[in-house]
Structure 1
Amino acid sequence: MKMSYKLLPTGEYCAYLRKSRSDLEAEERGEEETYARHEKILLELSQRHKITISKIYKEKPISGERISERPEMIQLISDVEDKNWAGVLVVEVERLARGDTMDQGIVAQAFKYSHTFIVTPMRMYDPNDPNDEEYFEFGLFMSRREFKTITRRLQSGRSDAVKDGKYLGNVAPYGYERVKLHGKGYTLTPHPEQSPIVQTIFSMYTDSDPDHRKGSALIAKHLNDHKIPTQKNSKWIVATVIGILRNPVYIGKVRWKSRPLVKRRDGKSRPRLPREDWIEATGLHPAIISEDIFNKAQDIMGNSNHRSAPAGKISNPLAGLIRCGMCGGPIVLRPQPKVPNGLICPAQGCKNVGSYLYLVEEKLIQALKHWLAAYKADWEKNRPNHEKLILLKAQEDTHQSLEKKRKEYEGQKSNLYDLLERKIYTTDVFLQRSQVLDTRIKEINEAILKAEAAVTIEKSRHEARIKTIPQVEHVLAVYSETEDPAHKNRLLSTVLEKIIYTKHKGGRWSGAVDKFELLLFPNIDSVPGT
């Protein structure tokens, strides 16, 4: 390909670095560190074109396929859209986006609408030049095609490995240790300390004597009482026990694609596929549990009377808001057929005592009323006066002074570019002194943000009465008349960040049925006088 020569626009330039899978493999073979090599290439490129690199965006060694998994790329696109850069230097245009068509479109449009150049050792791309745009999009397309081919080959290799009985996980399940095979891949061997615990869990859960049989909650309690650590040295919970009881690895099986990683724009989800779509095979590792005991455990779980609430249905008006004041976990609703519904902390060993939901709601509303009264009084007390107006003016003057200082530092940085172009500074000296100025600019930016925050707080106090007070008054007016728990939950979420619930003493006849504490965290930055 011929080197293309264009007149680059004036302005500041940055560089973007990201390692590919082949780079990581090359480093494992002992070749030069990729980022050091690429930095050298791009600095020489900037000197050739007489431009300076003001910032280098460097992804972590292992970055994801999608833009959403690459924090430096997210920041780069944001800065490009804000027109912070005249151009971006990169060793290959494919380093910018190797994800799906939507990701490639996001990158292409960001550069096009901001008119930001892309500079590589082989070609410069003007995103508003039709020929360059076509080259750019074709390069991204070919990169995506190559990536999908590699991915298919890897997935096929993993499926074959499972069918051969190999274990693909990076971490061994509880009860096993991961062992490298003589050829390629891994298998498992029983952990001398953990495998007997797994056998105990299955034995307790499937005991033939109903009087001695224990459910998952009692098993978790038993293990915690005996101070037996989990895989991560944390406490045992019901989900951990159930996960072990359901895992066929303990009968010598390996599986793949039971919960494939599905990447979505709003994050990651791991849905469980139907069993017929799994790849399950006899593993190379020995079983810890017999198939008879394993199948008996599955039958017991299948016949359990516990049923989950309908997906997405909110039955607790305080869901997501109320937390335990002793262990910090969520407080959940406990439906009760003959007495009012209760709120409890489900954490094993937590001594926080539960209460009736209606009592918690009543006290919560009373607490909101008291808070609102105090808020109004504080707001009246801290109305703007002459002294506060002077303080506000001083804060604004501080902000302007800091802005002036930032411009001075930016001017000094511009002088560094000139010294580099005149070869008075070497690249190493330039980068070193740039970092010093970058640190100073970062510090001044943080000071500016604090000054802006101080000014904003002063101004927001005047808006508090307009927004906060009417919103809380609205919640108090309609909450008791609302029957739908989901609607109640939405109302409370508009005024509360969280609620901390604590109760030390219980018992229906103890006289302490309503003796609990609620600590409210309103959905505002601060009360008017703080």
Structure 2
Amino acid sequence: MIKLPPGNYCSYLRKSRADLEAEASGEEDTYKRHDRILLDLAKRYGVVIKETYREKPISGERISERPEMIRILEDVEEEKWDGVFTVEVERLARGDTMDQGLVAQAFKYSQTLIVTPMRIFDPNDPNDEEYFEFNLFMSRREFKTINRRLQGGRISAVEEGRYIGSVAPYGYIKYKLPVGKGFSLRPHPEQAPIVQLIFSLYTDPDPEKRMGTTSIAEYLNDELKVPTARDARWIEATLNDILRNPTYLGNVRWGSRPLVKKKNTKSRPRRSRKDSNEHKGLHVPLIDVETFELAWKIRESNSNSKGPKAQISNPLAGLVRCGMCGGPILYRPYGGKNPDALICTKKGCPNVSSYLYLVEERLVQSLGIWLDGLKSQLNTRQETQSNRQEDTKINALLSVQRELKKQLEEVKKQQNNIYDLLEQQVYTIEMFKERAKVIAERYEEVKKAFDETEAELAGLRRRVEAQYETIPKLEKCIDGYRMAKTPAEKNALLEQVIESVIYTKKVGGRWSGAIDQFDLKIIPRISPQKTP
């Protein structure tokens, strides 16, 4: 039997669609079976698998969607492993040509072996490299063939009126067709009347009595106290999805929101009804054609057409948050009748609005106080109690860090010892895996404490440095703000020094004389020693 060279080896496990279907039919868990196969294989080759990368059972075509694959590639590139065990080379990459190239290059340049039950791949061997790339190519081709067959099956199912969604829409129950393959829908005894009520309120024959989605949501939440299918509160987006869904008309559809892939992102833009694959379904409609078409027309007439990209009209845009509900504080122009204001638009939030110019004045004044405080601290030569406490804390953290570093080295020695005990057959595989898990948890615990200590030390050191960096930025912001001509210029200056501003006002002040009685809490973009 061929022996692998001594070194560090790991394994990579990933479930395929076929594996998930087999498990659903009652077969053994795929990861247990593959783990056993690879451990036996490692034993025959005379090596020990020190770590297993176990991908969650998700459908990830790209490497970017598979977190364990990303982690193992990073470790391979850092030459952490001499070889990677996997049941099939196809498990490593089934994405596009770019992903396959990333996998091939990572293993080739790090000279990492790929060990499977069928063959050992040495990426630097021309024959193995060619065979490896051919396997990846065939895997990608098989994947695309399977995907086309699945898509074709879905389209055929829709054309036959079967429901192919994974979850039934609100108002219906999904059930297995008694004859043949596929599923259909039947009305939900409690939810179906709610769907009909939603359409009735939205399309009332009297336009004056019609309710919009906001009013309907409030009515369902506060008056009827009816939850959504997920036992949550109704919102406008949920109601809009119901009002545009042709399933309630008795139809089924596919391709209404196709997956659009770009270099680093994915999106699902909504298609128009005429461009999606929509057919008459086998289920009973909840809404008649006239009501559905009327709801569609009302929605279209109420929708806002997209205009040109807006100019920033609020100098505090994106910076101010509500101190009571945590939501954004928005700009409210009044067109000359009253000064423009800042207001929290969340329903029921008691935070009182204020005029924009008052908030601006207070904010610039607070920045000036912050600047004066920083300058005063740097000009003070005497050693303060605060500085002494800070130095003591730094020394204590350094001592803790040294002790944690020693503990990390001891845990690493323990890890090496258990591999020796396994090779000497003092430990069985089960005992080894149990002990390895305990040591790994201990290592992660100590490593986490070490990282937290290091981060706290870095934060303390950055505070003094931040004072020197923040002073010129604050001076530039304050001077530039007074001279800026547009809200966009002011906003850009504030974003250089401010992460956010928390606004709180508990009492209205227009008639009580407390017009400027509000609180601002500035969250700096660079954390100084003291905040205003």
Normalising by structure 2, what TM-score?
0.89
Tell me, in whole angstroms, the C-alpha distance in 1 between the residues paired with 2:310 and 2:182: 41
Q: Report the counterpart of residue 206 of structure 1 in structure 2.
A: 203
Tell me by how many angstroms 1:429 deviates: 0.9
- State the Cα deviation string for residues 457-477 of structure 1 (Å, max 9, x = none): 232223212333333333333
Percent sequence identity is 55
Assess, with a 3 A threshold, how the Cα gap between structure 1 residues 194 and 431 changes in structure 2: closer, same or farther.
same
More off after superposition, 497-506 vs 200-209: 497-506
More off after superposition, 483-492 vs 149-158: 483-492
Tell me, in whole angstroms, the C-alpha distance in 2 between the residues paired with 1:383 and 1:101: 62
Assess, with a 3 A threshold, how the Cα gap between structure 1 residues 526 and 386 changes in structure 2: closer, same or farther.
closer
Assess, with a 3 A threshold, how the Cα gap between structure 1 residues 294 and 148 changes in structure 2: closer, same or farther.
same
Tell me by how many angstroms 1:307 deviates: 4.8
Number of residue-to-residue matches in the alignment: 526
Tell me by how many angstroms 1:283 deviates: 1.6
1:5-20 to 2 correspondences below 5 Å? 8=5, 10-20=6-16
Tell me, in whole angstroms, the C-alpha distance in 1 between the residues paired with 2:109 and 2:385: 46
Q: Report the counterpart of residue 253 of structure 1 in structure 2.
A: 251
Q: Report the counterpart of residue 354 of structure 1 in structure 2.
A: 353
Q: Secondary structure at the match of 1:276?
A: helix
Q: Report the counterpart of residue 59 of structure 1 in structure 2.
A: 55
Tell me, in whole angstroms, the C-alpha distance in 2 between the residues paired with 1:169 and 1:378: 64
1:499 to 498, 501, 521: 501
Q: Is the 8 A contact 1:221 1:348 kept in 2?
A: no
Tell me, in whole angstroms, the C-alpha distance in 2 between the residues paired with 1:488 and 1:128: 58
More off after superposition, 370-379 vs 405-414: 370-379
2:415 to 413, 416, 419: 413
Matched, 1:424 2:426: yes
Q: Secondary structure at the match of 1:323?
A: strand
Tell me by how many angstroms 1:188 deviates: 2.0
Show structure 1 runs of 5+ residues with no match.
none
Tell me by how many angstroms 1:149 deviates: 0.7
Q: Is the 8 A contact 1:47 1:421 kept in 2?
A: no
1:73 to 48, 69, 84: 69
Letter in 1 for 2:72: L
Q: Report the counterpart of residue 116 of structure 2 in structure 1.
A: 120
1:220 to 217, 220, 226: 217
Show structure 2 runs of 5+ residues with no match.
none
Tell me, in whole angstroms, the C-alpha distance in 1 between the residues paired with 2:174 and 2:517: 52
Tell me by how many angstroms 1:92 deviates: 1.0
Q: Is the 8 A contact 2:82 2:113 kept in 1?
A: yes
Tell me, in whole angstroms, the C-alpha distance in 1 between the residues paired with 2:389 and 2:214: 61
Q: Report the counterpart of residue 91 of structure 2 in structure 1.
A: 95
More off after superposition, 36-45 vs 491-500: 491-500
2:184 to 187, 196, 199: 187
Q: Report the counterpart of residue 297 of structure 2 in structure 1.
A: 299
Q: Report the counterpart of residue 284 of structure 1 in structure 2.
A: 282
Q: Report the counterpart of residue 141 of structure 2 in structure 1.
A: 145
Tell me by how many angstroms 1:84 deviates: 1.7
More off after superposition, 32-41 vs 306-315: 306-315
Q: Report the counterpart of residue 270 of structure 1 in structure 2.
A: 268
More off after superposition, 516-525 vs 130-139: 516-525
More off after superposition, 189-198 vs 307-316: 307-316
Tell me, in whole angstroms, the C-alpha distance in 1 between the residues paired with 2:105 and 2:262: 21
Q: Report the counterpart of residue 369 of structure 1 in structure 2.
A: 368
More off after superposition, 94-103 vs 122-131: 122-131
Tell me, in whole angstroms, the C-alpha distance in 2 between the residues paired with 1:350 and 1:235: 17
Tell me, in whole angstroms, the C-alpha distance in 2 between the residues paired with 1:402 and 1:236: 51
Normalising by structure 1, what TM-score?
0.89
Assess, with a 3 A threshold, how the Cα gap between structure 1 residues 163 and 334 changes in structure 2: closer, same or farther.
farther
Q: Report the counterpart of residue 523 of structure 1 in structure 2.
A: 525
Q: Secondary structure at the match of 1:303?
A: helix
Assess, with a 3 A threshold, how the Cα gap between structure 1 residues 41 and 307 changes in structure 2: closer, same or farther.
same
Assess, with a 3 A threshold, how the Cα gap between structure 1 residues 239 and 7 changes in structure 2: closer, same or farther.
closer
- State the Cα deviation string for residues 481-520 of structure 1 (Å, max 9, x = none): 4455555444434433333333344485564544433333
Q: How well do the aligned residues superpose, as a CA RMSD in angstroms?
A: 3.0
Q: Is the 8 A contact 1:217 1:237 kept in 2?
A: yes
- State the Cα deviation string for residues 265-321 of structure 1 (Å, max 9, x = none): 433311123443310111222222222122222222222374556457655444443
Q: Report the counterpart of residue 440 of structure 1 in structure 2.
A: 442
Tell me, in whole angstroms, the C-alpha distance in 2 between the residues paired with 1:495 and 1:141: 51
- State the Cα deviation string for residues 231-276 of structure 1 (Å, max 9, x = none): 3333322222222222222211222111112344433311123443
More off after superposition, 18-27 vs 209-218: 209-218
Tell me by how many angstroms 1:158 deviates: 0.9
Q: Secondary structure at the match of 2:186?
A: strand
Tell me by how many angstroms 1:338 deviates: 4.1
Tell me, in whole angstroms, the C-alpha distance in 1 between the residues paired with 2:40 and 2:137: 28
Q: Secondary structure at the match of 1:165?
A: coil
Letter in 1 for 2:451: L
Tell me by how many angstroms 1:38 deviates: 0.9
More off after superposition, 356-365 vs 93-102: 356-365
Tell me by how many angstroms 1:373 deviates: 4.1
- State the Cα deviation string for residues 198-236 of structure 1 (Å, max 9, x = none): 222222222232332222222222223212322333332
Q: Report the counterpart of residue 451 of structure 2 in structure 1.
A: 449
1:84 to 74, 80, 85: 80
Letter in 1 for 2:436: S
Q: Is the 8 A contact 2:331 2:342 kept in 1?
A: yes
Assess, with a 3 A threshold, how the Cα gap between structure 1 residues 43 and 219 changes in structure 2: closer, same or farther.
same
Tell me, in whole angstroms, the C-alpha distance in 1 between the residues paired with 2:509 and 2:191: 39
Tell me by how many angstroms 1:353 deviates: 3.6
